[in-house]
Amino acid sequence: MGCNAERAAGVLRAGAATVAEHKTELTELDRAIGDADHGENLDRGFAAVLAALDAGVPETPGAVLKVAATTLISKVGGAAGPLYGTAFLRAATKLGDASELDAAAVAAGLRAALDGVVARGKAEVGDATMVDALEPAVEAAERAHADGENVAAVLTAAADAAKEGADSTVPLTARKGRASYLGERSVGHADPGATSTALLLRSFAEASR
Amino acid sequence: MGCNAERAAGVLRAGAATVAEHKTELTELDRAIGDADHGENLDRGFAAVLAALDAGVPETPGAVLKVAATTLISKVGGAAGPLYGTAFLRAATKLGDASELDAAAVAAGLRAALDGVVARGKAEVGDATMVDALEPAVEAAERAHADGENVAAVLTAAADAAKEGADSTVPLTARKGRASYLGERSVGHADPGATSTALLLRSFAEASR
Amino acid sequence: MKKIINDPAAVVAESLRGLEAAHADLVRVTYDPNHVVRADAPVSGKVAVISGGGSGHEPLHTGFVGAGMLDAAVPGPVFTSPTPDAVQAAVAATTGHAGALLVVKNYTGDVLNFETAAELAAAEGLDVRSVVIDDDVAVADSTFTAGRRGVGGTVPLEKIVGAAAARGDGLDAVEALARRVVGQVRSIGVALSPPTVPHAGEPSFDLGEDEIEFGIGIHGEPGRERIAAEPADALVERMITAVIDDLPFAEGDDVLLLTNSMGGTPPMETYLAHGIAERLLADRGIRVTRRLVGPYVTSLEMQGISLTLLRMDDELTELWDAPVHTPSLRWGA
Amino acid sequence: MKKIINDPAAVVAESLRGLEAAHADLVRVTYDPNHVVRADAPVSGKVAVISGGGSGHEPLHTGFVGAGMLDAAVPGPVFTSPTPDAVQAAVAATTGHAGALLVVKNYTGDVLNFETAAELAAAEGLDVRSVVIDDDVAVADSTFTAGRRGVGGTVPLEKIVGAAAARGDGLDAVEALARRVVGQVRSIGVALSPPTVPHAGEPSFDLGEDEIEFGIGIHGEPGRERIAAEPADALVERMITAVIDDLPFAEGDDVLLLTNSMGGTPPMETYLAHGIAERLLADRGIRVTRRLVGPYVTSLEMQGISLTLLRMDDELTELWDAPVHTPSLRWGA
Ligand SMILES: Nc1ncnc2c1ncn2[C@@H]1O[C@H](COP(=O)(O)OP(=O)(O)O)[C@@H](O)[C@H]1O
Ligand SMILES: Nc1ncnc2c1ncn2[C@@H]1O[C@H](COP(=O)(O)OP(=O)(O)O)[C@@H](O)[C@H]1O
Ligand SMILES: [Mg+2]
Ligand SMILES: [Mg+2]
Ligand SMILES: [Mg+2]
Ligand SMILES: [Mg+2]
């Protein structure tokens, strides 16, 4: 079963709902090792994405992601805005103007998103950033696709790996973003961006079933 | 038994010791209905009086009180500084250059002090100020003197009445000084200046025994 | 209590050392008794404008010493009036045959100590007058209180009177102008948190997480009432109404609006409150022609703001606009 | 949390309304996306100097818009970088063929968002450069962190670069000057109490009654270490040593000293700290030739101070002294 523009919009709406629901939790994580705004920032952005999609869903999944990208870039701010914006923008570009996405496209889109985040933020796995969730997610998605899984299963594999990746940031010393100012004091806390990445992928997976 | 300059200085030293001992308590009273500095103000002043007396005790009790007066005026500040300063100054003037004080002089000195405070501060009994302690103290001193009591007994009578007068400020609404800004909220608190007046008179009485 | 201080007893003098180091071009500081005079004092032939009061309200008054404003400021201990000898020293350092005006905030301690100093100066043949400012509408002016307190209105008073003295007005004129300003300036303050006096070490009052002290004084003295915390729109409306109704200010009036931080309230909130006050005044047809926003009369680290309105006319506007060059107020120079 | 605000989500825009009302002669405010430009923008033929960042640090940057300093400021949400579209709007309102310099504090969010805006502006044929300031010595600059943060040094940087642009320097020269200033300015901050972000509603960190956060960032990010509360003499010595040792500053240097209140620390303590810093610098043979004392880079109501040293020379001194007329910094005008 493929994924058309309406489904893509539905997936983003689910992402927005998840962000709204976990807003306080994300901000709390950011309070511990950052500046207590990650949930607020993302929610401001995804609420705007919702509004943009309510105003009209574009023709293709790629175009839907592009709307999300430009909206996030202009509304989220902070570190996460340009990073998530770049992720969606690169994925949108990768998807081109296909009217339906298959599992291969989803895996390739995720890979493009990861490449964009790394190009901008220069973080590696182990720096305790969203990359720690996104990179294993991409790898899991690619494996699932190689195993012949469908879109929902690919996204579920990504979400599972992202969750594990986010959890793996807890014992790490942050080396990028605000949390890096804490040095060893960042140990013992999950990275907010990695956590939001895992939550978003989980909601995408569920909405794509 | 009269009171010479040395004894007068001893009486003031006892006052300084009392103020130092009750500094925190007086500041606490002032915190409740004023600006939390009465103990601090008085202690700064009386410490300076001590230093002045240590540098040399003048010849007469009146001159001793005059040193106290000018020191208090220049060191205490706030409302209490000019008021206590005036009180000691008027008492000093009243005592003139007598080398010994008797009970009559003490009673007259106290009356002059009260008149000075009232002239400056325009407070009446019932306004919840130091006048509520000083005025009954003066009256009690005059009665004791009329009854033929000696200096120590006159001062003891004054101290007893001052203590009662200070306590009587508790249920009053302050009408002068900072505490008056509180309106009815000043009810239920002893006036700091009345309390310090009572404490000083008690220490004078004890030191004059 | 956490403060950036050494010994609580030395806090005023040590803070003056910093003022002196930072503004040696503008002020000269003398210690014990503490007083701050303009670097070029005495200015010959000019009426000296002198103010003072307890410390802890900076920049009032020490930050306003300089050309076009105060000739001297006399900082007392924290929240405690300076003593007459300190005022006298400031008079001596600044006052010649043109005389001096003492600007005194209406607190029993300040009034008594400055009064004593004025008497002493008169005894030395100097023409020294006092004007008492009592602009705080929180306190009903009745025989049942020590009278209204002097608060935020002190800033425009000192600026305007300072400008008049700078342009060469004589003592009679300067004194009359001061009384005129006092007659048409009104203020109100609120506190969200208490100040802590260094030597006391404890907050001056307790305020619940949902309470605001409405009508606070600048020493943390309580005001009209304790109200429940409310949005800025409602709070500023309550404040501005109290001020307007008091004088009263009326439609068609031109006013100077001072939105003052009490110390702990940061610029973001102070400007936010200012914006609301401007809107409310416009709604009432009162024209804000001059304004000042920031921490000008503080109460240590107390969080809160005050609003001051001064009815303006051409003369006051000209004097307000005149050049001023002090550590904390500067324009035209 | 007690603040003088209405809706936490509206706090930045509502505060800007107050700024606009108070300083209509100096600045023009546009909302959504929020940006503040000087009233006479665009100034033809002049390099535009633009800065911005999260709100809550006022007067930085909005209070520094005006003649001789910034052409535009772009205030993001509280403690959150503005988005590229807002920066772009400020560029569009101020920038002509002379180009623009973006002054960016080194935070991942600011760098990424301003970088994106600069790319967009370049795509429209404008010559827009960025300089990143990272003066905070609290954070070791290594591959293990996002690098030093931009803090108090931003104020002299913006003043000096603004003066260079005002006297007609071209973009190459302005950019080179900016990099030179960045190379010789260093800062350190301490916090005695945390700030509370309005929409978060809770203090950004917990600090015991006897603890000081040494090396605090301006968003309440932690610094080098948590130390026991200590007297001002010891604390300021610890701070000044950290700053001096870093560049390092040396005997014989001329410096500008900025003693900055983080918002909740009142003038009394800020001046007190300033006095100590001046004394310690004199002891080390470092000559303070220019100074600024007060709340210039705040962190909401956080109590604390920061110290900034900039090594001065004749050119920087001349540019520092050049006239400036903004809401929060004004001289020679
Ligand atoms: N250089 C980077 N590369 C990848 N992710 C980053 C980088 N810097 C920060 N992040 C992510 O951004 C998150 C913080 O986002 P947010 O709180 O919205 O922004 P800010 O830190 O500007 O307030 C971090 O938890 C981290 O996952
Ligand atoms: N007008 C007055 N007449 C008599 N006593 C007064 C008057 N005003 C204030 N006082 C006394 O002064 C005391 C306060 O002294 P203090 O705290 O040292 O000064 P301040 O109020 O200036 O801080 C009050 O408790 C009261 O007894
Ligand atoms: Mg954050
Ligand atoms: Mg008192
Ligand atoms: Mg007092
Ligand atoms: Mg942020």
Per residue in D7-21, pLDDT tens? Answer: 999 999 999 999 999
Clarify whether D219 is annotated catalytic.
yes
Mean pLDDT of C244-258: 97
Look up residue D107 and give its two tokens. Answer: 């935070």
Task: Provide the number of structural domains found in chain A.
Answer: 1
d(CA B155, CA C194): 41
C144 pLDDT band, cuts 50/70/90, is low
d(CA C253, CA C231): 27
Distance of CA D219 to the CA centre of its chain: 12
B35 in C contact zone (CB under 8 Å): yes
d(CA C220, CA C39): 33
d(CA B189, CA D163): 59
ipTM over 0.90: no
**Considering only CB atoms, which chain C residues are within 8 Å of B182?**
221-222
pLDDT at D317 over 80: yes
Mean pLDDT of A35-41: 89
d(CA D27, CA D29): 6
- A143–chain D nearest CA distance, Å: 31
Smallest CA–CA distance from B24 into chain C, residue? C200
Return the sign of the alpha-carbon dihedral for residues D295, D301, D307, D308: negative
d(CA A179, CA A76): 18
List the C72-78 sheet strands across, edge first: C27-30, C35-38, C72-78, C48-55, C100-105, C128-133
Taking only the tens place, the pLDDT of each residue in C263-298 is: 999 999 999 999 999 999 999 999 999 999 999 999
d(CA D132, CA D153): 11
For every residue of A32-71, DSSP letters joined together read HHS-S-HHHHHHHHHHHHHHHHHT---SSHHHHHHHHHHH
* Lowest mean pLDDT across A88-102, B47-61, D211-225: D211-225
pLDDT at D313 over 60: yes
Q: Name residue C260's amino acid.
A: N
Which chains contact D through at least 3 pairs of Cβ atoms less than 8 Å apart? A, C
Tell me what pLDDT residue D163 has: 98
Return the sign of the alpha-carbon dihedral for residues D317, D321, D326, D329: positive
Q: Which helix (H) or strand (E) covers residue B174, if one does?
A: none
Residue that wins the pLDDT comparison between C121 and D4: D4
Report the DSSP pairing between strands C185-191 and C225-228.
unpaired
Tell me what pLDDT residue B28 has: 94
Mean pLDDT of D28-39: 97
A186 pLDDT band, cuts 50/70/90, is confident
pLDDT at C151 over 80: yes
Closest CA to D309 of D322, D292, D330: D292
Q: Name residue A38's amino acid.
A: H
Q: C interface mutation test: which of B30, B35, B44, B180 has the most C CBs within 10 A?
A: B35
Which CATH number covers residue B139?
1.25.40.340
Report the residue from D4, D193, D263 with minimal CB separation from C235.
Answer: D4
pLDDT at B1 over 60: no
Residues in chain A: 209
Tell me what pLDDT residue C150 has: 95
Q: Are D88 and D161 in contact (CB under 8 A)?
A: no
Tell me what pLDDT residue A144 has: 98
**Considering only CB atoms, which chain A residues are within 8 Å of D146?**
176-178, 180-181
pLDDT at D126 over 90: yes
Look up residue A12 and give its two tokens. Answer: 């983003």
Residue of D23, D57, D61, D274 marked catalytic: D57
What whole-number percentage of chain D has pLDDT above 70?
Answer: 98
pLDDT at D43 over 60: yes
d(CA D25, CA D48): 19
C124 pLDDT band, cuts 50/70/90, is confident
C53 pLDDT band, cuts 50/70/90, is very high
| Residue found under tokens 């976990």 | A22
Answer whether B78 sits within 8 Å of C109, measured CB to CB: yes
Q: Residue D184's CB: how many other CB atoms inside 10 A? A: 18
Q: Are C193 and C299 in contact (CB under 8 A)?
A: no
Report the b/e string of C68-81 with b at 16+ CB within 10 A: bbbbbbbbbbbbbb
Alpha helices, DSSP H, located in C23-170: 84-94, 108-123, 154-166
Q: What is the residue range of B189's domain? A: 5-207
Residue that wins the pLDDT comparison between A120 and A14: A14
Mean pLDDT of D11-33: 98
CB of A33 closer than 6 angstroms to any ligand 1 atom: no
Mean pLDDT of C290-309: 98
| Residue found under tokens 């009359």 | C176
Q: Are A137 and A182 in contact (CB under 8 A)?
A: no
Mean pLDDT of A38-64: 96
Q: How far is CA D258 from CA C280, D296, D308, in A?
A: 37, 9, 5
Answer whether D80 sits within 8 Å of A77, measured CB to CB: yes
pLDDT at D123 over 60: yes
* Lowest mean pLDDT across A150-159, B36-45, B192-201, C115-124: C115-124
pLDDT at B61 over 60: yes
pLDDT at C213 over 90: yes
Q: Which helix (H) or strand (E) covers residue C209, if one does?
A: none
Residues with CB under 6 A from ligand 2: B 30, 34-35, 37-38, 41, 78-80, 83, 117, 121-123, 129-131, 176-178, 191-194; C 80-81, 108-109
Smallest CA–CA distance from C112 into chain B, residue? B82
Mean pLDDT of B38-65: 96
Q: Which of D57, D80, D108, D197 to mutate to test the pocket of ligand 1 (most atoms within 8 A of CB)?
A: D108
d(CA B72, CA B95): 18
C64 pLDDT band, cuts 50/70/90, is very high
Tell me what pLDDT residue D142 has: 57
A129 pLDDT band, cuts 50/70/90, is very high
Answer whether D81 sits within 8 Å of A79, measured CB to CB: yes
Q: What is the mean pLDDT of chain B?
A: 94
Mean pLDDT of D164-173: 98
Q: Do chains A and B touch (3 or more CB pairs under 8 A)?
A: no
Taking only the tens place, the pLDDT of each residue in A73-88 is: 988 988 999 999 999 9
Active site residues of C: 57, 219
d(CA A183, CA A126): 14
D147 pLDDT band, cuts 50/70/90, is confident
Q: How far is CA C204 from CA A5, B30, B37, B180, C61, in A?
A: 63, 9, 10, 16, 22
Tell me what pLDDT residue D119 has: 78
Nearest CA to ligand 1 atom 3: A121
Answer whether D222 sits within 8 Å of A37, measured CB to CB: no
Taking only the tens place, the pLDDT of each residue in A18-35 is: 999 999 999 999 988 888
Report the DSSP pairing between strands C185-191 and C128-133.
unpaired
pLDDT at A174 over 80: yes
pLDDT at B177 over 60: yes
D221 pLDDT band, cuts 50/70/90, is confident
**CA diameter of chain B:** 48
DSSP state, residue D148: P
Q: Are D43 and C307 in contact (CB under 8 A)?
A: no
Answer whether C18 sits within 8 Å of D266, measured CB to CB: no
- Kindly give the distance from the C-alpha atom of residue C79 to the centroid of ligand 5, in angstroms, as a whole number: 5
Tell me what pLDDT residue D144 has: 63
Distance of CA D187 to the CA centre of its chain: 11
Taking only the tens place, the pLDDT of each residue in B153-173 is: 999 999 999 999 999 999 998
- What interhelical angle do A80-95 and D108-123 show, nearest 10? 50
| Residue found under tokens 């410096």 | D255
**For residue C297, with 0-12 CB atoms within 10 Å meaning exposed, 13-18 middle and 19 or more buried, which class applies?**
buried
d(CA C316, CA C253): 13
Q: What is the mean pLDDT of chain A?
A: 94
D218 in C contact zone (CB under 8 Å): no
**For residue A149, with 0-12 CB atoms within 10 Å meaning exposed, 13-18 middle and 19 or more buried, which class applies?**
middle
d(CA D277, CA D282): 9
Q: Residue A74's CB: how many other CB atoms inside 10 A? A: 21
- Kindly give the distance from the C-alpha atom of residue A29 to the centroid of ligand 1, in angstroms, as a whole number: 12
Closest CA to B155 of B147, B168, B145, B146: B145
pLDDT at A150 over 60: yes
Answer whether D108 sits within 8 Å of A41, measured CB to CB: no
Closest CA to A134 of A97, A163, A108: A163
pLDDT at D78 over 70: yes
